Every structure is written in structure tokens, then in C-alpha cells.
Amino acid sequence: MARRSVLLLVAALIAIAGTAMIVLYVQGIDARATKDQELVEVLVATETIDTGESVADAQEAGKIEKSEVRRADVVDGSLSSTSSISDLVAIGTIYPGEQLIARKFGSLGDTQSLVIPDDKMAMSVELTDFERVAGFVNPGNEVAIFATPQDLTAILPEGKEQKLGDYTRIVLTRVPVLGVGTTSVTSRTTKTEDGGQVAEEVARTILTLAVTQEEAERLIQADRNSDITFALLTDDSKVSDNPGVRPGDLFPELFRDIRP
């Protein structure tokens, strides 16, 4: 009799434990299901964002908005804010309804192909490291371009020629850099202080810029007939078109008795 009571007690305990485990399992399923149904805020494209289009331009055009989706539908890496990508561009086409993820944004140099703004054209210029700010210019940067013409001659009304002398002035005040090509090494011969000549190796890199037709014409002329130099700009850099600087402007005391 006692043995039978013990068996009944053990069976009851097993039944209670089994029931508790089933209850806990069902509660776990309910909790996971509830969590998956929880709404989460993410950024979604409302219109097509083209390759190379900046986040700022897409936002201004109303192509990005916040939307609530089920947690189960959240794409890995999706964004709820543009703060981490505010200075970047789309490196591939993003379609309406698509959640925004960080890995789909980068600099202009990360895009799958050369991205040229609709109203401009791409133009490449080969420069030394000195002329391109010691290699600090990268895709997405903006630059100002200066030219120093050499041996320019003006034809006076009476038909005589007059040397204009060297001078430096700005050619283009602000243009975006689309790409930076591979660097090659070329030789350049320079004069020494004693009048001799020495050959030195110079690194040259091709920079590709986005320019209008008029800017391209000015840049081609500067590249063919002048020494050109790039200046790296920030958003706050102040650049303006002015008459430029001649040697006499640097050392007026040496040129005050010289008349053109």
C-alpha cells in the first residue's frame, strides 16, 4: 500500500513538472511571437535614390522617411537615423520601399561606376603630388584651381608685342572631384643653383572632375598653357574670382621703378 502511494505521488510530481514545462514553453513562444510583432522605426526610401545621389539631396527631395515595421521584418543593418551617413552618397540604386542600410552608402569613390551630375561632364587632369595638395585630395572633395601662365605675350594696337610676365590667378573657384586615378612616376629635369641640370622622379596622378562646358574650356586652356595648382576646400572655405597676383605684387619695393 505504501509502495503504491509513493508511485502515485511520483506520477503526480512528474505530471506537475510536465505541465509546468509545457506552460513555460508556450509562454516562451508567446513572448517570441510578441517580440517579433513589436513595431520598430526604420528609414525607408519613398522614391528611387540613384547611384551617386547624396543623402542630403535625397532627404531634401523627400525620398527618405521614417516608417514602422515589425521587428521580424527589420533588415540587418537598417538605419533609424541619417546621422551616420549624412555626408555620404548612394553607391547603388535604392528602390522605393527599401529599408536604408549603412553598407549601401559611401563616398563618390566607392560607387560602382563614375557618377557625373546631370548638368556637368567629367574631365581628367594629370597632376604631381604638389599640385594636388600632396595627395590629400579624394573623391567627394571640392577643389579650387589656380593657373600660373608662362611667357605670355600681348599684341599692342600698333602691332608690337609686349611680355606680360608671370602671374597667378584662380581659374575655377569650386569644383567637385569625382575620382582619383592610379599614380605613376615620371622624370623631370630641373636646374641647380650652379646652372647645372638634374633629373628627378615625380609622382603624377590623374584627377577626374565634374565641370560644366565653360569650366572645361577654361581648365583645358589652363592645363595647356599654364602651370596649374589645386587647393583643397572645406564647406567653409572662402573663394572668390579676383585679378590675381604678379611678382611685383609680392615685392613692390623691387618693382616700383619698373614700368610695363
Query: Which pLDDT tens digit goes with each residue over 36-85?
Result: 568 888 999 999 888 778 898 899 999 999 988 888 888 888 898 888 88
Better-predicted residue by pLDDT, 14 or 229? 229
Domain boundary among 75, 110, 145: 110
Q: Is residue 11 part of a domain?
A: no
131/240 same-domain check: yes
Q: Is residue 8 part of a domain?
A: no
Q: Is residue 88 part of a domain?
A: yes
130/223 same-domain check: yes
149/238 same-domain check: yes
Sequence-ordered strand ranges (E) for the chain: 39-45, 64-70, 89-90, 105-106, 121-128, 142-149, 153-155, 161-163, 169-191, 197-211, 226-233
91/148 same-domain check: no
Q: Is residue 21 part of a domain?
A: no
Task: Quote the domain boundaries for residue 46.
Answer: 39-110
What would the mean pLDDT of 225-245 be, rounded to a whole number? 86
pLDDT value at 216 more than 90: yes
Q: Is the pTM of this model over 0.75?
A: no
Residue 200's pLDDT is 58
142/202 same-domain check: yes
Q: What is the mean pLDDT of the chain?
A: 76
What would the mean pLDDT of 95-124 be, rounded to a whole number? 78
Q: Is residue 173 part of a domain?
A: yes
As for how many domains the chain has, the answer is 2
229/127 same-domain check: yes
168/211 same-domain check: yes
Please spell the DSSP secondary structure of 104-141, one letter per residue.
GEE-GGGSSS----TT-EEEEEEEETTTTGGGT--TT-
134/251 same-domain check: yes
CATH number of the domain at 64, please: 3.90.1210.10
76/131 same-domain check: no
Residue 218's pLDDT is 92
Domain boundary among 79, 110, 141: 110
Q: Is residue 26 part of a domain?
A: no
Quickly state the pLDDT bin for 242 (edges 50, 70, 90).
confident
Quickly state the pLDDT bin for 226 (edges 50, 70, 90).
confident
- In this structure, of 15-24, 88-97, 135-144, 233-242, the range with the lowest mean pLDDT score is 15-24
Cβ(139)–Cβ(109) below 8 Å: yes
How far apart are alpha carbons 185 and 203 in whole angstroms?
A: 4
What would the mean pLDDT of 117-136 be, rounded to a whole number? 76
Q: Is residue 17 part of a domain?
A: no
Which tens digit of pLDDT belongs to each residue from 93-104?
888 888 898 888
What would the mean pLDDT of 211-223 be, rounded to a whole number? 92
Better-predicted residue by pLDDT, 4 or 32? 4
The CA–CA distances, whole Å, from 95 to 85, 106, 244 equal 18, 17, 48
pLDDT value at 214 more than 90: yes
Phi, psi values for residue 161, rounded to 5° = -95, 145
Residue 185's pLDDT is 46
Domain boundary among 84, 110, 136: 110
Quickly state the pLDDT bin for 5 (edges 50, 70, 90).
low
pLDDT value at 201 more than 60: no
